[in-house]
């Protein structure tokens, strides 16, 4: 994949309680041409969704203060942001999609995440992950 890309949905909120993973993903998103902000828990994510007004939220489900599906539902209620769950918690995929997530990408597949982020928004909720 190219190191930079053009996309209309440039503002991304990254929600992950693991600082190193969150910061690394923000750096990667910046290299891809996105403006990335970060939140470390559900409460901060909901506040940032209102103030930063992201086009896309990349959300890890394993948060210390709030169930990931609850964060998905509440962000969905707040606005029009696409919600991409990026998590190793594969068993929660169906719950995340039922709560309103637009896509589920299994960590650590950043190539699949990039494909989802550059794809046009869809009415179909999907799962993207490494094949094989």
Spell out the domain ranges in the chain: 11-107
Which pLDDT score, from 0 to 100, does residue 120 have?
A: 81
Distance, in Å, from the CA atom of 80 to the CA atom of 70, rounded to the nearest integer, reads 16
Cα 87 versus chain centre, distance? 9
Task: Identify the pLDDT of residue 50.
Answer: 94
Does domain 11-107 match CATH 3.40.50.2300? yes
What pLDDT, on a 0 to 100 scale, did the predictor assign at position 79? 84
Mean pLDDT by 10 residues, the chain (132 residues): 50 97 96 96 95 96 92 92 92 91 95 92 55 38
What whole-number distance in Å separates Cα of residue 82 and Cα of residue 80? 6
Q: 41, 65 in Cβ contact below 8 A?
A: yes
- Partners of 57 in beta bridges: 13, 83
Cα angle: 84, vertex 47, 29; to 5 degrees: 40
Question: What is the model's pLDDT at position 130?
Answer: 40
């Amino acid at each position: 994949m190219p190191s930079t890309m053009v996309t209309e949905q440039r503002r991304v909120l990254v929600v992950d309680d693991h600082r190193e993973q969150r910061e690394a993903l923000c750096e990667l998103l910046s290299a891809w041409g996105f403006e990335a902000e970060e939140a470390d828990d559900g409460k901060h994510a909901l506040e940032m969704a209102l103030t930063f007004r992201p086009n896309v939220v990349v959300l890890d489900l394993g948060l210390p203060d709030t169930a990931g599906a609850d964060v998905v539902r509440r962000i969905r209620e707040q606005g029009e942001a696409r919600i991409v769950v990026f998590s190793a918690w594969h068993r929660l995929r169906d719950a995340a999609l039922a709560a309103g997530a637009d896509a589920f990408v299994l960590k650590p597949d950043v190539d699949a995440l990039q494909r989802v982020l550059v794809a046009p928004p869809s009415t179909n909720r999907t799962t993207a992950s490494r094949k094989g």
